[in-house]
Amino acid sequence: MPRAKLDFQIDTIKQDILKMTKVVEEQLRDAMKALSHLDRELAQRVIEKDDETNALYGEIKERCIQTIALQQPVAKDLRIISIAMDVASNLERVGDYAVDIAKNVDYILKESPHLSEEFNRDVLKLIDGEGEKNLMIEMGEVVARMVKDSGPAFIHEDSRKIEEINRLEDQVDDLFRKIFRRLEDISRKDTEGVSFALNLILTARYLERIADHSVNITKRTCYAMKGKEEYV
């Protein structure tokens, strides 16, 4: 078969992207779980897992550059390889945000004893994983689905997944606005907790950024598919 070596390299790059997607999705889900259960150990594991994400990113980037240098791909082959680097870079950022979310667990555990019972109850309602579904957890769930689909959308050039990710982004924006307003109200009532509330707003902001990275991946996928950055 002509270009067997190039095809092998492209296939390996694609498999690594799938693997990286799984790793960062797990990082994100664990970060949200650590947040909802205020689980310090799990949060620590999320932080440590970032080394694996970064190593995978390095490997993918290296393989892409090597393939470009040695195989001199053009047209769609070149688009796939160069976009794979973009996809990996977006996934790497997802890993970083998962770490940022996990780091909040420690802060919440340290700060909440100093705040009023009412404040704690109102705030923790946003992140508490038990009982009724709450906004921050719901947002985390939607965002994790977007991340989960993003790598496969690129690998399989899956238009349905691309559409789904873009549809979910609106939901994420909506949830972000709701969380923002809720935390604004809570901190107005109890100014002692402003810094605490701001930290949770940041968490929601990280989730919203992760969603943006998933959307970026779909945009770049459209380019790899069609040579134009427009939705299919």
Partner 1 sequence: MDSKNKIEVKNLNLWYGDKPALKDNNLSVKEKRVTALIGPSGCGKSTFVRCINRMNDLIDGVRITGSVLLDGKNIYDKDVDVVALRKMVGMVFQRPNPFPMSIFDNIAYGPRIHGIKDKDTLRKIVEESLVGAALWDEVSDRLATNALDLSGGQQQRLCIARSLAVKPEVILFDEPCSALDPIATGKIEDLIHELRKKYTIVIVTHNMQQAARVSDYTGFFLLGKLLEFGKTRDIFENPKKKETEDYITGRFG
**Residues in the site for partner 1, rule: CB under 8 A?**
2-3, 6, 72-79, 226-228
Q: How far apart are CA 155 and CA 20, in angstroms?
A: 12
Measured from the CB atom, is 3 or 177 closer to partner 1? 3
Write out the two tokens for 196: 């605490």
Measured from the CB atom, is 72 or 116 closer to partner 1? 72
Angle at 85 between CA 171 and CA 204, to 5 degrees: 30
Taking the complex as a whole, the smallest distance from the CB of residue 147 to partner 1 amounts, in Å, to 28
Q: How far apart are CA 186 and CA 166, in angstroms?
A: 31
Taking the complex as a whole, the smallest distance from the CB of residue 82 to partner 1 amounts, in Å, to 10
Taking the complex as a whole, the smallest distance from the CB of residue 72 to partner 1 amounts, in Å, to 6
Taking the complex as a whole, the smallest distance from the CB of residue 6 to partner 1 amounts, in Å, to 7
Measured from the CB atom, is 5 or 160 closer to partner 1? 5
Measured from the CB atom, is 76 or 167 closer to partner 1? 76
Tell which residue, 95, 221, 93, has the closest CA to residue 163: 221
Q: How far apart are CA 29 and CA 140, in angstroms?
A: 8
Taking the complex as a whole, the smallest distance from the CB of residue 5 to partner 1 amounts, in Å, to 10
Alpha carbon of 1 to those of 4, 7, 8, 182: distances in Å? 6, 10, 11, 60
Taking the complex as a whole, the smallest distance from the CB of residue 77 to partner 1 amounts, in Å, to 5
Measured from the CB atom, is 180 or 223 closer to partner 1? 223
Of the chain, the end-to-end C-alpha distance in Å amounts to 31
Measured from the CB atom, is 77 or 92 closer to partner 1? 77
Q: How far apart are CA 39 and CA 62, in angstroms?
A: 36
Write out the two tokens for 54: 């970064």
